[in-house]
Amino acid sequence: MHSERKLFSWKSPLHLVKRSNLPWWQALLYRLLAVFVGLLLMCFVLWLMVKASPVAVFANLFSGSFGSERRIWFTFRKMALLLCAGLALIPAFRMRFWNLGGNGQILMGDLAAIMCMYFGGQAGWPNWAIILLMIPSSLFAGALWGVIPAIFKAFFNTNESLFTLMMNYIASGIVTIFLGAVVTSGSGTLPIQEAGHLPVIGNNDYLLVLLIAVAILAFVYVYLRFSKHGYELEVVGDSENTAKYIGINVRWTIIRTMALSGALCGVIGMLLAGAMDFTITADSAQNMGFTAIMVAWLAKFDPFAMLGTSFLVAFLDNGMASGVQRAFGITNNSIGQIVIGIVYFCIIAVEFFINYRIQFQHLVPDVEALTEKGKK
């Protein structure tokens, strides 16, 4: 006896389907949901570790980043710096040049500005002269630190990730050498420099950084969107052969783009030196070069979307540090990092669900059997 052939059968218990066009509001909902789930998980972990009530965690998260006028400015300045760093990285990223050297480029810009302040101050130069020297020095130092790996990439096809990463260590080494040379007491701590402070706008310590961030945002947007350079770097990123075929100078594009990327990092360094710290340490860049990679990726290299991602990072950072950790007396920073990591994980993971749909089971028709049946 031969059994009746089945017309339909169950196939593949787990199946991924690429989504073609998820409506924007649905994608947005997913992302918000991810943030929410991340925050819930965060509360759960904090409850496990320090018996913190979720309501108190949320309240302190907000008060830590927005609880006073100073905190609001501080959070927005942190956001502005991260935004600048992200903006500095995306021209290179859009070219598929993985610049992991943002930290080193920031630090070199910082060092160049501090050297102007230190030596200019000792020579008794007027402030405006020092500042006029600081601007090109920082831009140049940052650009130089970006161009060196770019030259090696363009001419010898060296791996740019490793190269730029290595340049970070060299930069902090150079800062240590500088400190060793000028701080003859050996403490490695350069006193606050009094000369060459960048102008304070409207008696507000934070405003200058914010305004420069807005200017860089506008510049990078226009550069990527409307300039020929912006077009060229995208073509190089998509396909070097296509770029060559249509007559783009690939090597020059790589070098030029990294010079821009590095120079923008140099601006951040100058802000650190001339508007915020007035001194330098080997950690002055505060890992912004790395945090900015996340800011840029989460925003899919879109300058305006980075407003949102840099805000999120600054908010979580300050909320955890000044709010949650202080309120619950957490003095082990690993806890804060784990908890923030969980939120980031959720945010990154949701991109998968936005791009793919999971089908658990579906019916597969047996075409042959169906046609046979149709004939009958």
Partner 1 sequence: MKKHLNFVVLVLAAATLAGCNGTNTSSNTGSAKLKAGLITLHDENSTYDKNFIDAFKAACAKKGVEPVIQSNVPESNECYTQAADMADNGCAFVFADSFGHEDHIVRAAREFPNVQFSHASGQQAHVLKLANFHNAFASIYEGRYLAGVAAGLKLQAMIEAKPETSTNIGYIGAYPYAEVISGYTSYYLGVRSVVKEATMTVTFTNSWYDETAEKTSAENLIKNYHCSIVSQHADSWGAPTACENAKVPNVTYNGSTESKCPDTYLISSRINWEPYFEHCFDQLANKGTIETDYTGELGTTLYDGSVALTAPGKVAAVANTEEKLNEAAAKLRAGTLHVFDTSSFTVSGANVTSNVTVDAEGHVTSYKADVDPDAAYTADTEVVEKDSNGKSYIAESAKRSAPYFQLNIDGITRI
Which residues here bind partner 1, judged by CB under 8 A? Answer: 24-25, 27-28, 31-32, 59-60, 62-63, 65-68, 70-72, 74, 176, 180, 184-189, 191-192, 272, 276-279, 281-284, 286, 299-300, 302, 304-305, 307-308, 311-312, 315, 321-322, 325-326, 329, 331-334
For the CB of residue 181, give the shortest distance to partner 1 in the complex, in Å.
12
Task: Report the residue number, 194 or 238, with the smaller CB distance to partner 1.
Answer: 194
The 8 Å CB, 24+ separation contacts for 176-182 are 176/282, 178/111, 178/114, 178/115, 178/280, 179/280, 179/281, 179/282, 182/118
Task: Report the residue number, 12 or 287, with the smaller CB distance to partner 1.
Answer: 287
Task: Report the residue number, 5 or 70, with the smaller CB distance to partner 1.
Answer: 70
CA distance 289 to 107: 10
For the CB of residue 326, give the shortest distance to partner 1 in the complex, in Å.
6
CA distance 376 to 367: 14
Task: Report the residue number, 284 or 291, with the smaller CB distance to partner 1.
Answer: 284
- Show Cβ contacts of residue 103 under 8 Å, excluding neighbours closer than 6 positions: 168, 171, 285, 287, 288, 289, 290
For the CB of residue 187, give the shortest distance to partner 1 in the complex, in Å.
4
Structure tokens at 190: 């350069």
Q: Of 78, 195, 194, which is closest to residue 128 (Cα–Cα)?
A: 195
Task: Report the residue number, 107 or 248, with the smaller CB distance to partner 1.
Answer: 107
Task: Report the residue number, 161 or 281, with the smaller CB distance to partner 1.
Answer: 281
For the CB of residue 260, give the shortest distance to partner 1 in the complex, in Å.
22
For the CB of residue 231, give the shortest distance to partner 1 in the complex, in Å.
20
CA atoms within 13 A on the CB side of 169: 4
CA distance 247 to 312: 41
For the CB of residue 329, give the shortest distance to partner 1 in the complex, in Å.
6
Compute CA 64 distance to the chain's CA centroid, rounded to the nearest angstrom. Answer: 22
Structure tokens at 225: 């969107």
Task: Report the residue number, 257 or 309, with the smaller CB distance to partner 1.
Answer: 309
DSSP E strand boundaries for the chain: 8-11, 15-18, 356-359, 362-365
Task: Report the residue number, 9 or 189, with the smaller CB distance to partner 1.
Answer: 189
For the CB of residue 334, give the shortest distance to partner 1 in the complex, in Å.
7
For the CB of residue 229, give the shortest distance to partner 1 in the complex, in Å.
22
How many other CB atoms sit within 10 Å of the CB of residue 336? 18
Q: Give yes or no for a contact between 223 and 229, defined as CB atoms under 8 angstroms apart.
A: yes
CA distance 220 to 197: 26
CA distance 230 to 93: 12
For the CB of residue 14, give the shortest distance to partner 1 in the complex, in Å.
27
* Helix, strand, coil percentages, rounded to 5, for the chain: 70, 5, 25
Task: Report the residue number, 52 or 255, with the smaller CB distance to partner 1.
Answer: 52
